[in-house]
Amino acid sequence: MALGIPADYGASRGMPVQAEASGLVSIGVNPDGREILLSPPAAEAWAAMRDVAAASGIALVAISGFRSIERQAELIRAKLAAGESIDAILQTVAAPGYSEHHSGRAVDIGAPGEPQLTEDFELTPGFRWLRAHAHHHGFHLTYPRGNAYGIAYEPWHWCHRPPGEP
């Protein structure tokens, strides 16, 4: 099934191409039991951030990390097969080759006992803690409300950017 992604997708949204990471390391399993992989610097920063949050009484849970370009395409194919339009899909899922998850630096974060990957995450103490402290660990919220990329608000999606990287 062809995906139908516009040829100017990245340029029109100002989204950089994301190379697939290699040399990934495990940060454990998510609440569903799936292993989560990140680049070594992101994994180290995640562990430090999670531990500092825990010391402050805030529990953060990793929901997902690295995702291959092929897996990104599979997600889009499934949505297309379910009858969603490519325009609607691209408001909630980055096109293959453009997802920060490919880089091994992005981690979707949740809170124990809370619904995963919903805007309601912004109502949790974990999100408030991340807004105030994540940047100290090199993590940044990529998709705030009204972001320039045309991706829906994702308060759970945080990307590690080492000092000096945009």
| Domains annotated on the chain, with CATH | 25-66+104-160 (3.30.1380.10)
Examine the pLDDT at 166 and tell me if it is beyond 70.
Answer: no
Q: What are phi and psi of 73, to 5 degrees?
A: -65, -40
Distance CA 62, CA 34 (A): 11
For residue 43, the model assigns a pLDDT of 98
For residue 140, the model assigns a pLDDT of 97
For residue 162, the model assigns a pLDDT of 76
User: 15 pLDDT band (50/70/90 cuts)?
Assistant: very high
pTM of the entire predicted model: 0.94
89-125 pLDDT tens trace: 999 999 999 999 999 999 999 999 999 999 999 999 9
For residue 119, the model assigns a pLDDT of 97
